[in-house]
Amino acid sequence: MTPESLVLFWQFCFFVVMLAIIGFYCLLATYNLIRVLIGLELLIKSVTLLLVVVGYVSGHVALMQAFVITLIVVEVVVIVVATGVVINLRRHNQSLDTRKLRNLRG
């Protein structure tokens, strides 16, 4: 590992950690379901960036590209299904507030 790639690794790790912290904050600090989906998207993007950087530093770029493509496909499916659930909840409750979802109990 060259010193240049080591410096690049630590810089990207800092940004990945910051992005993950922002994503967790979006998940935990809000009651809006759209913001929860955005936080989930930020968390997945931070993992994607981490995989790319690890592949670059370790020299296994092709393997990490395959993982990233798979992760992107899974991410799209999860976000589309979650958005569909959010849209249906909005139709039934007239709100995106998670505190009002307790009314759905049977």
Over 70: is that where the pLDDT of 39 sits?
yes
Tokens standing for residue 2: 């060259």
Is the model's pLDDT at 49 over the cut of 80? yes
Tens-digit pLDDT profile for residues 89-101: 899 888 888 888 8
Which of 15-24, 54-63, 65-74 has the lowest average pLDDT? 54-63
C-alpha to C-alpha distances, 39 to 33, 49, 61, 82, 85, nearest whole angstrom: 10, 15, 27, 13, 16
Domain ranges of the chain: 3-97
| Residue 5, pLDDT score | 77
35 contact partners, CB below 8 Å, separation of at least 6: 26
Mean pLDDT over 73-82 rounds to 96
Domain covering 3-97 assigned CATH 3.30.565.10 in the classification: no
pLDDT at 106 over 80: no
- Mean pLDDT across the chain, nearest whole number? 91
Q: Give the pLDDT of residue 25.
A: 95
